[in-house]
Amino acid sequence: HNGIEYGDMQMICEAYNLMGNLLGMTPGEMSAVFGEWNQGVLDSFLIEITADILGQEDPETGQPFVDIVLDTAGQKGTGKWTSINALDMGIAAPCIAEAVFARCISAIKEERVAASQVITANLEAFEGDRTEFVQAIHDALYCSKICSYAQGFQLMREAQREHDWQLDFGQISMIWRGGCIIRARFLQKIFEAYQANPGIANLLLDPYFKSEIDRCQANWRKVVAIAALHGIPIPCFSSALSYYDSYRSARLPANLLQGQRDFFGAHTYERVDKERGHTFHIDWPAADRPQIQIQP
């Protein structure tokens, strides 16, 4: 729950950063956008309070409150624990991990200020349609959120298997919707996904979430590409897209990686033309480099 919360908060901050630093929108304008978003699929406690915060004035100066808050984020460690659990269980949860790392890099404020004077980039100003791009940011946030929750629920699924727990994921989503920081309309769709298929391997496979990403992914890709071209950091948006593209890939470049591992460490490999569990090793130092079957 807290790990997913880290992802949610960071993704909202990335949307805010794009609107402010790329589109030049004021906090008041962004407050109105988040308020509008809170009427649709992104309806949630965090979107609601974001609209409120962006509309707040600083009591001392009368300036937008968000502009006088130092850009260093604290953390209690719950996102780190979730990321460590994911690593220990071998579950990919990059959205949660990137949200933790984003807080880590925010904490080195003085170092970042110094680096900003040394490391520069020749970047062009944004020249697209602002209204259209705001909608694209909405879609990128929505798709990334789906991926983040998919990762969180997959982590719980693996924990259930490893610890022999009996978890009702649909009921968990309803408990969260009932009252917590990540309460959101979105959780109803997760409940419905698990009602329809309690054993679903990943929420990305649910027909509703698949269709939603199909509908929004062009804008998601557009946002990630434009952010990269304009030097705007969006670690959760971009890692969510990489996760999505990796998960839907029938073949990944890990075959080369495993070949490297076999070369320097004799870690063996499986073959595409043999059953799983049959492992082999190339005798790399030998002149003829024969293949040796290790298992079974």
Q: pTM score > 0.75 for this model?
A: yes
Same-fold call for 2-247 versus 258-295: no
Ramachandran angles phi, psi of 292, nearest 5° = -115, 130
How far apart CA 56 and CA 67 sit, in angstroms, is: 10
**CATH number, domain 258-295:** 1.20.5
User: 292: helix, coil or strand?
Assistant: strand
For the stretch 11-40, pLDDT in tens is 999 999 999 999 999 999 999 999 999 999
In the β-sheet with 291-295, what is the strand arrangement from edge to edge? 269-270, 279-282, 291-295
Q: Any idea which of 55-59, 172-176, 238-242 has the lowest mean pLDDT?
A: 172-176
- pLDDT tens digit string along 141-168? 999 999 999 999 999 999 999 999 999 9
What digits encode the pLDDT tens for the residues 222-243? Answer: 999 999 999 999 999 999 999 9
At 260-291, the pLDDT tens digits run: 999 999 999 999 999 999 999 999 999 999 99
Neighbours of 193 (CB within 10 A): 22
Average per-residue pLDDT in the chain?
A: 95
Sign of CA dihedral 34, 36, 39, 42: negative
Give the pLDDT score at 205. Answer: 98
- Domain ranges across the chain: 2-247, 258-295
Tens of pLDDT, residues 84-131? 999 999 999 999 999 999 999 999 999 999 999 999 887 878 889 999
pLDDT score at 176? 85
pLDDT at residue 1, as a whole number: 64
Q: 2-247 has which fold?
A: N-(1-d-carboxylethyl)-l-norvaline Dehydrogenase; domain 2 (1.10.1040)
